[in-house]
Chains A and B, each alone.
Chain A
């Protein structure tokens, strides 16, 4: 009896290990199979088309697209198993920084592939890896933007003009408020939406090297973010009645229904707003944070970067795919379908909605998302949300500092 059960258990374990063994790549018909790992469910269709195009040009290479939910967790577990996909299409955030520091990605610095990329984005992802590790371990591909979205019809009704300075921006908010309309539709029940304004303000006021200096102990939130906190506080006064009670999805619908003139969101919200109201006329502009128009930069981050595993058995083929992706025509096709922006010089988003921020991409007046460089465990968005409710500036800034230091010390 015992033997039978043991045998059963053995069979089970054996079966499981066999199954696990099966997942290794099979080069069946002389073709090389590459695995492309993507963290965005939104781009699956676009990638499928691009892969088809690539496979037609390179008949001996097959590409398998893998875009699982919870992609970053999946990638981290595969990292522990030393089983990274050949090509990765991931966001330029803390996870990329970790992979870069772990030394498992191919270094692109100085290669021809990295040449056409706007230098600002290369710097951005280099800073994610940190000063201790030299190298550019990915090719910034598509980017996003943090902006002020406005309802064109209402904008004209109120006789407004696109503001170039903070004072002009506040003046237009004041004008809308005086007319009895809602200036900004806040959706602060979802804490992350507060970071849109925070990032625009922080990037322009505290500077791009804040995180680096903070880690070195040369600066602090109490030093640099006083003005940011004040301006956040000012903006919230131009919200609606229930700023803290409305979530992102409801906010998109409310803005689409004309409940406010301005909406502080990223380019990713635009397809959602247009879904709710396809006829809506939208415009965008970068939030003017200071009173010097020349100083005001657009906050834009690397939404997608392409990385190649250092230990890939098919590095040559993987590079071929990267080359294909970095081609200007492919890049254009990608951003047109995804309503995103390109990190490649000379490839611009022509969609008329984005007219107001096109200039920033053309002349490179862009800066990065400050919170991408915060330690991941500190939960900055909830602290910001708490501050917007309690308005205790000194205590809040001190807490931002102490949470940062605490996470660094673990």
Chain B
């Protein structure tokens, strides 16, 4: 037994080392530098909590938090509704369901930058033409150029791409449900709606939990989609926190300040994930 344990331990060492060197260590460094005035190079001094206090006074950071949460909550809800629907459809006995599954998974394989540029073209050229042809005033201009609508464009692209992955997770959950349950329910005279709420949904509750947590976390860290679509504009209306940290930290020479911002954001994400898990797990048990 003892020997077996040490083998397992050895197996974990390379992964642990890689993780520590490329992930934990830089993260710890970031936390360390958040208490300094380091610019990314050169000399530095300890400044205590000054960076943290400045983040709370920073209007730009506040706006970024507001935008990111608005975006993440809307996108999470949409992704979960749509992917659950798609998964139920793909799980039923329709023709070509295997081919369809592959097609629905395609967006996940494409690089976000490529997807972003394709949608950029759609928003800039294709939709305005449709708007012109049908006389829909709101569509005749690029919605990414409108500070009140640009975030919707990003939601569309992010959801379009994220649905594929969540659909796979839901499908995996749906497959675990035995056919017998539905047959028994049919005999008892249950309709489609009742079957969904009384059988399907409770039985895939763990998948619902993990999908909610994963997608909220992913959307809170939104970055590539925004870079590809708007670059944070127009104005600063679509500047997410990750983008702000990157911009300020690497391009603006505020490495230490944005490290403090990143540490705060890290804590916020953890708190949100824990609350979500607690709440959703409780629901699973009740069901």
Query: Which residues of A are at the interface with B, using a C-beta cutoff of 8 A?
Result: 1-2, 5, 9, 73, 76-77, 79-80, 94, 98, 102, 188-191, 241-247, 250, 375-379, 382-383, 385-387, 389-390, 402-403, 406-407, 409-410
Q: Tell which of B7, B42, B233, B256 touches A385, judged by Cβ atoms closer than 8 Å.
A: B233
Among A94, A102, A382, the residue within 8 A (CB) of B236 is A382
14 further contact pairs, Cβ within 8 A, besides A242-B128, A376-B251, A377-B254: A1-B6, A79-B41, A102-B41, A189-B233, A242-B140, A242-B142, A245-B128, A245-B142, A246-B145, A377-B247, A377-B251, A377-B252, A382-B239, A385-B233
Residues B231 and A246 in contact, CB atoms below 8 Å apart: no
- Contact status A410-B254, CB under 8 Å: yes
Alpha-carbon distance between A188 and B143 when the two chains are bound, in angstroms: 13
In the complex, whether B253 has a CB less than 8 A from a CB of chain A is yes
Residues of A within 8 A of B250 (CB): 73
Residue B13 CB within 8 A of the other chain: yes
In angstroms, Cα B6 to Cα A386, docked, is: 60
Most buried by A among B14, B41, B147: B41
* B142 close to A189 (CB less than 8 A): yes
- Residues of A with C-beta under 8 A to B37: 410
B116 at interface, CB cutoff 8 A: no
Q: Could you tell me if A189 and B144 are in contact, using CB atoms closer than 8 angstroms?
A: yes
CB distance from B223 to the nearest CB of A (A): 16
Q: How large is the interface on B (under 10, 10 to 19, 20 to 34, 35 or more residues)?
A: 35 or more
Cβ contact within 8 Å between B145 and A382: no
* Given A188-B145, A242-B141, A382-B10 contact (CB < 8 Å): no
> In the assembled complex, how far is the CB of residue A216 from the closest CB belonging to chain B, in whole angstroms?
20
Within 8 A of A (CB), among B44-93: 51, 54, 58-60
With CB as the reference atom, state the residue of chain A lying closest to B251.
Answer: A376
Report if B40 contacts A (CB, 8 A): yes
Contact of A244 with B237 in the complex, beta carbons under 8 Å: no
- Chain B positions within 8 Å of A1 at CB level: 6-7, 10
Among B10, B54, B145, B253, contact of A409 (Cβ-Cβ < 8 Å): B54
Point out the residues of chain B lying under 8 angstroms from A406, CB to CB. Answer: 54, 58
What is the minimal beta-carbon distance from B16 to any residue of chain A, in angstroms?
11
A385-B142 in contact given A2-B10, A377-B248, A409-B54 (Cβ < 8 Å): no
Residue from the list B120, B124, B147 in contact with A389, Cβ < 8 A: B147
Known contacts A376-B253, A389-B234, A410-B257; A76 and B7 CB within 8 A of each other: no
Also in contact, A76 and B41, with CB within 8 A (given A244-B145, A245-B142, A385-B235): yes
Q: List 12 A-B contacts (CB under 8 A).
A: A1-B7, A191-B231, A191-B234, A241-B140, A241-B141, A245-B124, A245-B128, A245-B142, A245-B146, A385-B233, A389-B235, A410-B37
How far does the Cβ of B241 sit from chain A's closest Cβ, in whole Å? 14
